[in-house]
Structure 1
Amino acid sequence: MTTLNLIVPCYNEEEVITETCSRLLALLDRLIGAGEVSDESRITFVDDGSRDRTWSIIETMHASDARCRGIKLSRNRGHQNALLAGLTVAEGDVLVSLDADLQDDIEAIPRMLEEYRKGAEIVFGVRHKRACDTFFKRFTAQSYYKTLKALGVEILPGHADFRLMSRKTLDALKDFQEVNLFLRGIIPLLGFRTAIVEYERAARFAGESKYPLAKMLAFAFDGITSFSAVPLQWSTRIGALLALGSLGFGAWAVYARLFTDLAVPGWASTVVPMYFLGGIQLLFLGVIGGYISKTYAETKHRPRFIVERTL
């Protein structure tokens, strides 16, 4: 019998975590009753340094049902690190990761298990409908996936972190020692046989999103700079084009001054190119700085998370 462990990262989820636990326990009961998973299956909540009552609720849930387990990180380390903590610390033959806000359809999990029994080692949950999202969020998400594809990053459009992984793939994941985590890009690099299960994303059950626009942009930048050097190549090419353009502009200015009466004294012809080139230089320095900061973080080899307590 397959032992299933549901990994649920949590950060300030006191408003929804009780309902999440209730629905997941009902799902486990159903799967165990049908003989699809072992009665040793469980749910593991990973508290990512929450500032509300999330951990105390996890303790209460564990006291009432031992199948509810908990991993408490010593401080907030971000969603990706919390998810990795659950994937590497929790036990089980098969682990399914999902968000605590109930936007991931838990009814897709039995279909994931079916694909696993057919031989898939990794099963990706892919959103085929995003009716609950705003137009802006749908547009930016689709644009982001297309951008990553164009930059050569191997990523599955519509897939976030709702996935099934076998013990074999989890052991392989432990060999990746990256500090700058972008699991959506790392998991496809593992290889192994994969499958896709489509589902419809629901609205958040309660509480507020933990990914406001600023965090979403930072996460997107991390994904690009962690898996693609194309922005650096673009910086070089655009810089070369601007240099050629500047030479052409200089040649035209000399020609206009010597052979025509088009030259008009003023500051525009000096100030505008200066500010334009200065802005481009600062932009590309920022891109280069992003890569350097990642290299700096990787070379220090600091722990990605510290577990304070487990239940």
Structure 2
Amino acid sequence: MTLLAGPSSPPLNRLVRAELHRVLSPKPVRYALGALPLVLLALAVSAYLGHHTDVASAWRSAEAAYRAYAEEAASRPAGSVEILSPREFFDDPRYLMAKASFVDLRAVLSGLSLAALVFGILSGGADWSSRVMLTLAAAEPRRSRLFLTRGLLVTGVATAAAVLTTVFFVPLLLVVAQFKGSLAETDGRYWAVLAVVGARGAVLVGLVALLGYGLAMLTRRTATALGIALAYLVAAGRVVQEYVPALAEYELAGITFAVLNERLLMETDRTTCVGEAACLVMREGTTATPAFLALAVHLVPVVAAAWWRFARRDVG
């Protein structure tokens, strides 16, 4: 009696190559990766054009604004107006690398995390709408291996893109600071914190891509996953702020800020903070550890449910 053997799984290296090609093959993904260096260059050019080194002119403007304020304050009852100095009206026109680079890098990595969410959704949902997933599941009967391989590739590609973004963008900012600003205070502490923020950002981008992938694999529809993600991004902050404001730091926007916030790592900023809000962040800001734990609360149930549905349920 002859037994019919079931379909065999392809070698892992062949599966990885095939899935990597499939992850990178969509035109939107290729165009986005190709455009990323141009976007970073445009941001650096914008920073270059938006700053100058005429500090004396900026001080004259600050003193003029202070005189106008002082004249207005003199006409009001004593004690009703806060006493200020010209310093409070001074806006340094230079690109200060030690501070501005963190702001710019945070903005870029935050935007990249949103792009990674879409990338993950496209990677997890495209083959369902085209019915290609039926063929893939037949060619790779070990569905868990297929799910894990693509998930790790999506995470790895997004993480690598974030690392390369930091490596490419920071030298551009150095050029801006060299010609239109200052490199003061860019000491060893600064570079260590910058490296930590860049590493955190890369991990964040990779995990957000995995979240998008899990969401698409769970819903099995790209449009549905994109709709859920958009609804969350638009409504979550408002709903949380309205009904459970204590959790505002643990929705996705708050998590992103906490992960990319350098201020808790800069020891000098703890003693030189200016303003109630800034000093509150120095004392009570959310650290990266609870932020990543909050991200895990978003990520683990979605990915686990997606794996269970893909591995245990019919793909037809």
- TM-score of the aligned structures, taking structure 2 as reference length: 0.26
Instruction: Give the structure with the larger strand fraction.
Output: 1
Instruction: Give the structure with the larger helix fraction.
Output: 2
